[in-house]
């Protein structure tokens, strides 16, 4: 049993199989299963994205100054690049599945913010889109400099670190009303 839990990918696969098994109950129609799977994927990717956003802002950024210089490469060369991979793809797939769900539910017009009955979900959608933009076009390009994945001198790395941190903290601010909007729109 221990061997199973030592393999993260196997643990995730077992979790997915269990979740799909729950959806395959005889009282669900194929369309209900498809929508349910899409909703689950949206929540899964959203938890991955926002969980990593909070990890970076509540754990990694505040802790880095306390880490001895000789240990920092362990974070910057191994942990951060992998976490940023899941972070940015979590953002992309959260937005993609959210937009598909909005279309399937007829909520795509919510982005116009002109109907008071669905304005809250529209605000949440816009906040998520702004946050995803920050991830892909501000945080990630600057983090590539900080992590040495792109050539940059020390001054450029320091500037990039600050820019990425401010964009990340902006996403923390936006995530709070976004989560409220996404969970209370009906």
> What gap in Å lies between CA 137 and CA 133, rounded to an integer?
6
Give the tokens for residue 128.
Answer: 């998520």
Give the tokens for residue 97.
Answer: 């599945």
Q: What is the pLDDT of residue 167?
A: 98
Q: Are 185 and 118 in contact (CB under 8 A)?
A: yes
Give the tokens for residue 108.
Answer: 């795509």
Q: What is the pLDDT of residue 45?
A: 97
Q: Is the dihedral of CA 148, 152, 157, 159 positive or negative?
A: negative
* Regions of the chain where pLDDT drops below 50: none
Give the tokens for residue 93.
Answer: 């797939």
Q: What is the pLDDT of residue 44?
A: 95
Q: What is the pLDDT of residue 37?
A: 86
> What gap in Å lies between CA 169 and CA 97, rounded to an integer?
24
Residue range 144-158, pLDDT digits in tens: 999 999 999 999 999
**Three-class DSSP labels, 14-38:** HHHHHHHHHHCCCCCCHHHHHHHHH
Q: What is the pLDDT of residue 94?
A: 98
Residue range 32-60, pLDDT digits in tens: 878 888 999 999 999 999 999 999 999 99
Between the alpha carbon of residue 69 and those of residues 48, 56, 65, 123, 164, the distances in Å are 29, 19, 9, 42, 21
């Amino acid at each position: 049993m221990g061997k199973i839990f030592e393999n993260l990918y196997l643990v995730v696969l077992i979790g997915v199989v269990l979740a799909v098994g729950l959806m395959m109950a005889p009282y669900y129609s194929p369309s209900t299963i498809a929508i349910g799977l899409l909703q689950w994927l949206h929540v899964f990717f959203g938890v991955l994205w926002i969980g990593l956003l909070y990890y970076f802002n509540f754990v990694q950024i505040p802790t880095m100054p306390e880490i001895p210089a000789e240990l920092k490469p362990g974070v910057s060369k191994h942990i951060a690049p992998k976490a940023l991979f899941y972070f940015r793809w979590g953002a992309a797939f959260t937005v993609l599945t959210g937009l598909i769900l909005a279309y399937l539910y007829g909520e795509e017009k919510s982005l116009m913010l002109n109907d008071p009955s669905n304005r809250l979900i529209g605000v949440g959608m816009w906040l998520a889109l702004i946050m995803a933009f920050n991830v892909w076009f501000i945080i990630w390009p600057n983090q590539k400099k900080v992590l040495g994945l792109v050539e940059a001198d020390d001054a450029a790395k320091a500037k990039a670190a600050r820019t990425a941190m401010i964009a990340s903290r902006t996403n923390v601010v936006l995530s709070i009303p976004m989560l409220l909007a996404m969970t209370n729109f009906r």
